[in-house]
Amino acid sequence: RLREVVVLRDVYELPHEDIARELGISVSAAKVRLHRARRRLRALLFPLPGEEHADAV
């Protein structure tokens, strides 16, 4: 779910409205998913000292 919203926004450069329509969710839900996906990706790419992540996005 999180990967899909990042691809639609950052690769295909779709606006939030089109992402919401494509995923069958509200615009606000699309924005929340994008925020959560970027936060998780940031944590995976730039972990804080002492943090380890074994899972991928």
Residue 55 maps to a domain:
no
Residue 16 counted as domain residue? yes
In a domain, 51, yes or no: no
**Is 39 within the bounds of a domain?**
yes
Burial class (CB in 10 A: 0-12, 13-18, 19+), 35: exposed
Q: Is residue 31 included in any domain, yes or no?
A: yes
- Structural domain for 13, as ranges: 2-45
Give the model confidence (pLDDT) of 7-51 as tens digits. 999 999 999 999 999 999 999 999 999 999 999 999 999 998 887
> Domain total for the chain?
1
Residue 41 lies in a domain: yes
Q: Is residue 25 part of a domain?
A: yes
pTM of the complete model? 0.82
